[in-house]
Every structure is written in C-alpha cells, then in structure tokens.
Structure 1
Amino acid sequence: MLDEIGRGSTAVVYLAMDSRGREVAVKELVPELTGVPEAIDRLAREMRAQARVRSAYVAGLLDGAITAERPHVVMQYVPGCPLYDLVPAYGPLRGDRLARFARRLALALGDVHDAGVLHRDVSPGNVIVMGDRPTLIDFGIAQESGADQITRRGMVVGTPAYLAPELIEGERATTASDVFSWAATVAFAATGRPPFGRGSLHGVCFRILRGQADLDGVPEPVAGLLRAALRRDPAERPPARWFAGALAPLPGGGRPRAVHATARDGVAAA
C-alpha cells in the first residue's frame, strides 16, 4: 500500500501498486467488519455489480478477494479531483466544458444501465474529474437491476441531496432514479450549489418531493435537459442515453441545440 486515499464507515481505500506496476485503488473492509457476514455480502454485491460494467467513464474492477483474511476489491485508480471539491476550488463548469461533462457522465450512466446495474449514488463525491472528463466511481450500494431491494422502507441510502423523490418515499431504485441523480449532479457542476439546497435533511427532502429545483445560472440547453431529468414522475424521465444524444455536439463542432423531451424515447429540437 502506498497511501490512504479514502475512508468511510465500512471501508478504507488505499492507493497501491499491483504486480504489473500499475497504480490501483484497493478498497478494504475496516478490521471490525472483516468477520461480519452482512458487510462481506455487501462487498460481494459491489464486486459483482462493478464487474459487469465496461466503460471509458467508469472506474473498472480489476480483482478482489471476498474470502481473504482482509476482504477487499481492487479497482482502476482514477487520478483527478472529486467534483465535490473541484467546483468550490475552481468554480462551476461553463459553456462547452459543461456540456461535454454532462454528456460523458450520461454515457457513463448509460453504460452502467446497459450492463444491468443500478449505481444508486450518483453524486458530486462519486465523480472524479480530470479536465472535463468525468469518471464514475464507488459502487458500494450498487446492485444488479433485477436483484432484491437491499434497503428497507423508511431507510434513505445514498447522498440525500441528490436522491430521486421516489427513493425518499421508499420505492425501489430504477434507472430513472439514477437519471435524476445525474441531473442533480450536473446542476451542482454548473452552479456550485446542490439544486435542492443545503440545511436539514428534512428540508432538503421536502424540496425534492415538491420538485423545487434551483437551476438558476444553468445555461440552456443544459437547463432544459435537467428539467426533463428532474421530473417528479420517474416514468417521464428519458433514459441516460437519450441525454447523451441530446448533448452531442453538432457536425462541425457546434453546441447542441436546445431540445425537449416529448416522450420517454422522443426528442424534439427547439
């Protein structure tokens, strides 16, 4: 191990060097959980989910040993800065850089969903940025799309300020829930503010449930796309790849036109 680069309540992430001389990230359960079946099962679910995903914009799984004395997973090390730290330090993303960021993060989410996986925690702390290239990390609460719900009604799991309203109400996570979180994360990238504000958990959840997103300062056409992704009804949110297509640059390198969703799979130019 070279250095500790992250720590949570259940695991520690280290920067390490593998046998091929590559820098890798090793996520290891904290010692007090190494013999707890529930913690080991959760790490195994994370490993299975992440192993299914292949994407240029998602940190890849390289190895893992769930039954080892020190259960761990080995992932691609992603250099860069978490979006959560980047924006306060250097300011919001603007213009073409914002559109490229939003599109690439939508492509990452599309790849996750195409692999039959729900990320369930798309948020500024789980997006590493290098230039305007995002990489989605941390599959700690991810699950395969058809798997049983691993949380109970009344539990809020994920980053509350970026959760879809149906999750706050205790409904099952879906690809549409991830899309909502994508939009909230892009809004933070564009403004430096969580779109549903700060403060008490109760207040943030109340604004999410009421659809009171603050998108002031988000430029068009990105703002219009975020409004579509933040719709209260998950059935009305287009899928991640729809947003990636809507954000694609025009031939010749021009900016995307303003678009709006006319149906779940439809798009119209404004």
Structure 2
Amino acid sequence: MSAPSTDLFQPLGPDDPAVVGGYRLTAVLGAGGMGKVYLSYTPGGRPIALKVIRPEFSEDPEFRRRFQQEVRAAQRVQGLYTAPVIDFDTEGSRPWLATAYVPGPSLAHAVAQHGGLPPRSVLLLAVGVAEALHVIHGAGIVHRDLKPANVLLAADGPRVIDFGIARAADATSLTGHGVSVGTPAFMAPERASAGTVTANTDIFALGQIVAFAAIGAPAFGEGSSHAVLYRIVHEEPDLSALPDELRPLVTRCLSRDPADRPSLTEIIRMCHDLSPAPLRQGEDWLPRAVAGSITERLQLPEPAKTPPPPAAAPTPTEFSPGPPAQAAPPYPPAGHAVAAAPTQAGYRSYPTQAAHQTPPPGYPAQPAHQTPPPGYPAQPGYPTPAPGYSTPSGPGYPTPAPGYGPGHPAPGHPAPAPRRNRTGLIIAGSLVAGVIAIAVILSLLPSGSGNKAKSGGSSSGASAKSTPGGSGSSGKGSKRADPSPAAYQGINLTANYQLMLADSPPRPGTGGDAGVSYNHGDLYFYKDTMFGDTRLGTDNGKLVLLNNSEKGSLATCRAETRYTDKIGLDQLTDGSEICVLSDAGHIAVATYRGKSGANDPSTYITLDLRIWRNAEEPKTSN
C-alpha cells in the first residue's frame, strides 16, 4: 500500500495539541468555522474524527450550554447514513466531539475535483441523505447546516455529519463579530429573511444538495453572502443545467413556502419513481474517479507513537551497601509520570502506575500495580505484574539475582531483622473490641420485649418500635439522621432521556429504547411524537405533584401519599414542584422551570433539583 496522501492528512502543527481527552492525535483532517478536525484512533485501533471547538466559542457560556444539549441529542442518532458520536467533552477548557471516521471525500470535494455526478448517483445520494434526515429529525434535531461539505461519500452510500451542532453557535455573541453560522448558498429563504428554522429548512437544503451534485454548482449561484441570500429570498434558482429526470424533485424541495416542500418519505418515493432502474446502494454507486478518492482515504497514517517506557531499573547489585536511611526519599523518583485519567469508559487510556523500580533495603515497599478493568487497554511500557507481586518484569527490567526477592536480602546486604506477625494481634484486638461494643449496646437497651407484650399489643409490633433500625424505626425511637440536600440548577432534560438521583451531578442519559423503556430511571421526560403526549415519569420510585400551598421539602415529600408514576407536562407551570421518591432511598424536589421553544431543534425541559441522598432505606423487591 502506498503512503497516504499529504493533502488528505496534514501533519500536526506547533499550535496543535498532541493529546485531546486521552486520544493521541495523528493528523489534521481539516478546519471549519467552528473548529479543527483531527484524525485519531480508539484503543482498539478504530479511526475517529475528533473536532476541537475554536477558543472563541469555548469562552461563551451560552455556546457551551447549547453545545452540551446538542451533543447529547446527537448521541441518539444511530442511522445507516450518519456518522455516530463516539465520545465528547463539553466541559473542558476546549470542548471537543469525536465521531466515527468516514473514509470518503465530501460532496464539495468530489464535485470540485470531478464535476457533477450522474443522475443515478444523485438519486442514490438523495435517498441516503433523506434517510439520514429522517433519523436526525426523529431524535428532535434540525441539522441547520446541511451543505456539500457535511455530506461524505462513503463506499456504501453517503454519510451526513455535523447535525445540530450549528445551533450551539446561533445565539452566541460571536455571530455579530465575523463568525458565520450556516452556509448562505444552502440556507432556506425563511431562515435568511426571518431566522425561522424548522425541519422543512433541511428539506430546502436537501434540494440544494441534489442540484449541486447534478449541476456541479449552487442553484442560486455564487458570490458575496448578501448577494446569494438576496437571490434565495427573492429570485428563482437556475436549474437550466439540471437533468430533466431530477427537475420535479429539486423544484418541490426548493419551494419558497416551507409548507409546499415534500416530506422525507415523499422524497424517497419520488427518487424511486424517477429512477429507470431499482435503486440499490452498492460499491458501484459512485463514478470510478470519485471511488478512487475513497481508496486514498483508506490509506491512513499510522497511529502516533506512545511515549517510550521509563528507563530500566538498576539491578539490586548496583545499590551501594550501607545502613538504611531513616528518612527515605519519595519513591519512585521524580520523572515517572502517571497517565491521564479516563473520562469516558472504553475510549481513553486507563491510568496505570508508572513502573516501579525494586527499592534497596531501607526504602519503603511500593504498592502493586493496578490491573486495568475489562475494556481498558494496558499501557505500552507498563507491564502488569503477577498477582500479589509488585516488582515489574519483562523487556527492559532486570532479572533479580538467584535468591533475591520477597524474603531474600540483596547480595552484600545483611538480612533484615525478623518482623513480628501483627495480623493475628489485629484480628484478636478487633474481636475483643466488638464483644465490648455489643455488651455496651445490650446494657443500654430497655427491658425485654416480653414485658411490653404483656402491657398490650403484639410482641412483634412492640419489638419493632423499640429496636433501633427495626422496621418501625421511622416513627418513634431512633432513626437515621436526615442528610443534607445537594442542589443542582438548570438541568436540561431532553425528551426520551432520564436522570438517576444517585449521580452527582445528575446527567441526562438513555436508559433503554428511546421513548419506550427506561428500565430503572428515577425521573424521565417522555415525548410521543405521534400523539403529542409529553410527561414526566419514573420507573424506579414514586412522584407527587405538590399543591401551590405546599413547600417542597424532605418532610413534605415523606408525608405525602398521593403517589403516581407519571405527570403530564400540561399540569406544570413555571415553579411547580414535584417530589421524587426513588426506590433506592433517595428523595428529591424537582422544580419545573419551563420547556424548549417551538423553533428549538431538540425538545427538552429545564429543572432545578434538590436531592437528599440515602434519606430512606432502599426498597427491596419481594
């Protein structure tokens, strides 16, 4: 295989980071208005495209809030014609997003290099992009920036990328300072004139994509942004070079009135009707010249080399003899770095302790190496020791001399004085302390339960009330101290996502099939797009909608008995309080603060939470 093209994989520059989020960067794939894209690899060797957001956006708190919302929504998009989100960090100094690497040119690059595509390729392109938009819209996202640069041409069909991310920058202060969001040549007229964005906005962009792929140029021409936007709003597109079989599809998609544009289902049906032969995605869907660009992108550069292992430890005989020091310096010596901690299971390097050298007599013994849990790769240059033995072995580490090791002194050194076995003394002392503690507790208890039984009531019930920790301890008698609440403000809970009260901070996540099963969710927000049903629910506890006269508190939630497992969103107003009583023993007051607007690409509600963790005994299933 020949070397990869330097035009496709640019080397890292002096301003490029070497590692982002635990991923070692290999090459630069490209740069855009919102950030720079790098090639990297997962621990298993899969290539990924990692986009690092520009510093100007990173410093805007509104951008960070929206970026976090959109990335979490994008995680739900798992279509055949999209690049799935692999990993992300929205809270670091430079937010970033990693998706699967697609070995194919963008539509913009392919047209620039080879001109327009034949009609069959264009129809297959339209079908694939329409299917991608169907999945994206189904997740409550509007792409907002569908353009040729965001459609990649893979061997088995197109891939739509960067869906929904443009929304994060729409409301930032940067949009008025030379940072453009969205591409004018592919912007819908309603967005260009009034800023209105709906799912039909993406349909207009799809029509533009189809025309561009067939003609080899934008349907509304090129030039300055203002000139192009004026033509989109006030003039008709130039479709004179468009093949006749594609004209009905493009004309309907480019309708100035969003209501006149076809649905995605109609677009797919039209493509099949317009094709003289059945449409089937396959290796031959692209012209041979364009397919050659895919081959080039499969010739990836090798992953960046990991740092070399630390220098080999000296053999025991290299330590000079002498009496052990009273105050030994720290061990291992300075310079042995510890790998960065992971932030996403399965995708970052697991932190492994630096290789330990065998200490001379008098130095404190070092703890054994930790073995990474399943799914984390072992670090190059850091061998895993045998269970119970902390001295590393393998290439680069000395072999101990015969007779040297646990229980054996180094040659030339006196055997250390025998140490008493203190394990037995510790165990014996613990047993004695336990017996004394039990005796003290028994001496403080009231007289036996038999006397209480004689005074009236069942002996079992009386015993339960008088015994600390018994089933009746929540009433009179001793009980656990109330925990202090933890407060969390402005949590945006996306539709078909759930919260777990034990998490700190609570982070929305999927707990099962979107919108259907939430397994063990303490609190979830559900939106049925077919019937318009929106509600809060729980599959792991009970909910109580408090009256306006009630003040949400731990005592109020404990006293309530009007339990339910679902509350309709139409029952809530700004400031409504809901008690959430988790089967795990956590209690929370959720304060409703509103929902997303009609033009928001994703559907979500905003909540404030006060959580008293472990406020009750956990419920056990019978």
Name the TM-score class by shorter chain.
0.7 to 0.9
Rounded to whole Å, the distance in 1 between the matches of 2:199 and 2:172 is 16
Assess, with a 3 A threshold, how the Cα gap between structure 1 residues 49 and 79 changes in structure 2: closer, same or farther.
same
1:123 to 133, 143, 147: 147
Matched, 1:141 2:166: yes
1:240 to 264, 269, 272: 264
CA contact (8 A) 1:117 1:142 kept: no
1:20 to 29, 44, 47: 44
Counterpart of 1:238, as a letter, is P
Matched, 1:110 2:161: no
Counterpart of 1:5, as a letter, is L
Rounded to whole Å, the distance in 2 between the matches of 1:134 and 1:36 is 33
Spell out the pairing of 1:1-270 with structure 2 (5 A cutoff): 1-31=25-55, 34-131=58-155, 133-139=157-163, 140-142=165-167, 150=171, 157-248=181-272, 253-254=277-278
Rounded to whole Å, the distance in 2 between the matches of 1:208 and 1:97 is 26
User: Residue 401 of structure 2 corresponds to which residue in structure 1?
Assistant: none
CA contact (8 A) 2:49 2:99 kept: yes
SS at match of 2:242: coil
CA contact (8 A) 1:11 1:27 kept: yes
1:251, CA displacement in angstroms? 10
Structure 2 residue runs of 5 or longer lacking an equivalent are 1-24, 280-622
Rounded to whole Å, the distance in 2 between the matches of 1:24 and 1:248 is 33
2-11 or 245-254, which deviates more: 245-254
RMSD, aligned CA: 2.6
Rounded to whole Å, the distance in 1 between the matches of 2:153 and 2:241 is 21
Assess, with a 3 A threshold, how the Cα gap between structure 1 residues 151 and 181 changes in structure 2: closer, same or farther.
farther
Rounded to whole Å, the distance in 1 between the matches of 2:223 and 2:273 is 37
CA contact (8 A) 1:98 1:190 kept: yes
User: Residue 302 of structure 2 corresponds to which residue in structure 1?
Assistant: none
Rounded to whole Å, the distance in 2 between the matches of 1:22 and 1:70 is 23
Listed one character per residue, the Cα deviations across residues 32-51 of structure 1 (whole Å, up to 9, x for unaligned) are 65444234224313312311
Rounded to whole Å, the distance in 2 between the matches of 1:37 and 1:63 is 21
35-44 or 89-98, which deviates more: 35-44
SS at match of 2:230: helix
1:9, CA displacement in angstroms? 4.2
Rounded to whole Å, the distance in 1 between the matches of 2:119 and 2:275 is 17
Rounded to whole Å, the distance in 2 between the matches of 1:126 and 1:24 is 16
Percent identical across equivalent pairs?
A: 36
1:191, CA displacement in angstroms? 0.6
Aligned length: 249
CA contact (8 A) 2:37 2:52 kept: yes
Assess, with a 3 A threshold, how the Cα gap between structure 1 residues 249 and 238 changes in structure 2: closer, same or farther.
closer
Assess, with a 3 A threshold, how the Cα gap between structure 1 residues 25 and 231 changes in structure 2: closer, same or farther.
same
174-183 or 26-35, which deviates more: 26-35
Please identify which structure carries the higher helix content. Answer: 1
* Pair member with larger Rg: 2
122-131 or 228-237, which deviates more: 122-131
User: Residue 146 of structure 1 corresponds to which residue in structure 2?
Assistant: none
1:220, CA displacement in angstroms? 3.1
Rounded to whole Å, the distance in 2 between the matches of 1:189 and 1:109 is 17
User: Residue 523 of structure 2 corresponds to which residue in structure 1?
Assistant: none
SS at match of 1:248: helix
Counterpart of 1:231, as a letter, is S
Assess, with a 3 A threshold, how the Cα gap between structure 1 residues 194 and 242 changes in structure 2: closer, same or farther.
same
Rounded to whole Å, the distance in 2 between the matches of 1:209 and 1:193 is 18
Assess, with a 3 A threshold, how the Cα gap between structure 1 residues 4 and 42 changes in structure 2: closer, same or farther.
farther
Assess, with a 3 A threshold, how the Cα gap between structure 1 residues 69 and 232 changes in structure 2: closer, same or farther.
closer
CA contact (8 A) 1:175 1:239 kept: no
